[in-house]
């Protein structure tokens, strides 16, 4: 009898609390905005507006919680985390200029939202992602240690231009002889480049790199580069990054300019590129 009464009492306490929690607690995206995370990590945690803030979207929730907790607790401290420490007044006296630090449960919600945020198509099993801006910053620091490969078709790089820092154009897909049509995409059909992994292997060893060296792949907007990264992981590469917003970026989802690629990506981020291609970076024989 006793346990029935206790059970009933617990139920009475539990149900209203659940309903309250469900109604009132904002979701991860809202929490991300309310805590000011957007100011450095970008609206969706993908396109950092701050030079040093990494892409958060699409990274596993456990990883994000671990990393953020280390920063918020003051355990992780470096020149780069200093930005976060100052903004949230970590280890310092709070005044009205301090951003509110998220609680553990808030951080969990933020991390869960961020981990789901990247379009499925852009995800890779290793979750090594970088924005166009992040790729550029990484290359400024580590240029001689990182390979930056443009995997778009030759038509794309020929007519749309290419980032200045590209080491090679090795297409993951090719257009063929323009004789076939993709009805769904309303465009020419793309075929897998049968030599893709072979060409990457050759390029990597020719430049004295190996399968653990950092390689950054860029395509139009982060779909093909994710697929190509998966393929390279499958052939033993361990450190392949995908530029999540690519060279042209995502399409605008609403408004009068809907469908145009004016949102993000290398070109829209104002990073250096040119219509003039580097002969030594091109693969002529494909």
* Sole binder of ligand HEC in the list 39, 126, 164, 213 (CB under 6 A): 39
Take residue 245 and report the two structure tokens written for it: 């917003």
Binding mask 100-119 for ligand HEC (x = CB under 6 A): --x-------x---------
Q: Which is nearer to ligand HEC, 164 or 238 (CB)?
A: 238
Distances (CA, A) of 133 to 75, 189, 268: 27, 30, 10
**Residue 240 CB: number of other CB atoms within 10 A?**
25
Position 166 contacts ligand HEC (CB under 6 A): no
Pick 19 or 30: Cβ nearer ligand HEC = 30
- Does residue number 124 form part of the binding site for ligand HEC (CB under 6 A)? no
Applying CB under 6 A, which of residues 80, 112, 126, 223 lies at the interface with ligand HEC?
80
34 scored as a contact of ligand HEC (CB under 6 A): no
Residue 1 beta carbon to ligand HEC: minimum distance, rounded to whole angstroms? 48
Task: Give ∠ CA 218-221-222 in degrees, rounded to 5.
Answer: 60
Six-digit token pair at 121?
């198509």
Closer of 129 and 203 to ligand HEC (Cβ)? 129
Is residue 214 a contact partner of residue 241, using CB atoms and an 8 Å limit?
Answer: yes
Q: How far is the CB of 112 from ligand HEC (least distance, A)?
A: 12
End-to-end CA distance of the chain: 80
Which DSSP symbol is given to 143?
Answer: G
Residue 78 engages ligand HEC in binding (rule: CB under 6 A): yes
> Least distance to ligand HEC from the beta carbon of 250, Å?
21
**Which residues on neighbouring strands pair with residue 174, listed in sequence order?**
191
> What does residue 33 show for φ and ψ, rounded to 5 degrees?
-75, -45
Classify residue 194 by its DSSP letter: T
Helix, coil or strand: residue 270: coil
Query: Nearest 5°: phi and psi at 187?
Result: -160, 175
Stretch that binds ligand HEC, among 80-88, 116-124, 172-180, 222-230 (CB under 6 A): 80-88
Structure token pair of residue 212? 């653990």
- Which residue stretch of 12-20, 31-39, 151-159, 212-220 sits at the interface with ligand HEC (rule: CB under 6 A)? 31-39
87 is a contact residue toward ligand HEC (CB under 6 A): yes
Residue numbers at the binding site for ligand HEC (CB under 6 A): 35-37, 39-41, 50, 52-54, 56, 64, 67-68, 71, 78, 80-81, 83-84, 87, 99, 102, 110
């Amino acid at each position: 009898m006793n346990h029935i009464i206790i059970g009933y009492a617990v139920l009475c306490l539990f149900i209203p609390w659940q309903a309250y929690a469900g109604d009132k607690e904002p979701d991860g995206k809202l929490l991300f905005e309310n805590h000011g995370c957007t100011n450095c990590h970008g609206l969706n945690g993908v396109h950092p507006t701050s030079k040093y803030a990494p892409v958060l979207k699409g990274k596993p929730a456990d990883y994000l919680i671990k990393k953020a907790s280390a920063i918020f607790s003051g355990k992780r401290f470096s020149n780069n985390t200093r930005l976060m420490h100052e903004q949230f007044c970590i280890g310092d006296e709070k005044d009205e200029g301090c951003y509110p630090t998220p609680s553990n449960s808030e951080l969990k919600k933020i991390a869960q939202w961020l981990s789901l945020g990247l379009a499925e198509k852009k995800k890779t099993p290793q979750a090594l992602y970088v924005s166009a801006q992040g790729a550029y910053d990484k290359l400024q620091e580590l240029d001689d240690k990182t390979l930056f490969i443009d995997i778009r078709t030759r038509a794309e790089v020929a007519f749309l231009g290419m980032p200045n820092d590209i080491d090679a154009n090795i297409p993951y897909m090719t257009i063929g002889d323009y004789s076939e049509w993709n009805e769904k995409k309303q465009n020419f059909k793309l075929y897998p480049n049968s030599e893709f992994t072979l060409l990457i292997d050759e390029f990597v060893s020719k430049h004295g790199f190996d399968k653990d060296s950092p390689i950054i792949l860029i395509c139009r907007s982060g779909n093909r580069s994710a697929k190509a990264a998966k393929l390279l992981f499958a052939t033993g590469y361990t450190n392949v990054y995908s530029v999540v917003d690519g060279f042209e970026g995502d399409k605008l989802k609403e408004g009068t300019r809907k469908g145009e690629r004016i949102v993000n990506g290398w070109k829209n981020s104002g990073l250096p590129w040119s219509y003039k291609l580097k002969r030594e970076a091109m693969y002529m024989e494909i």
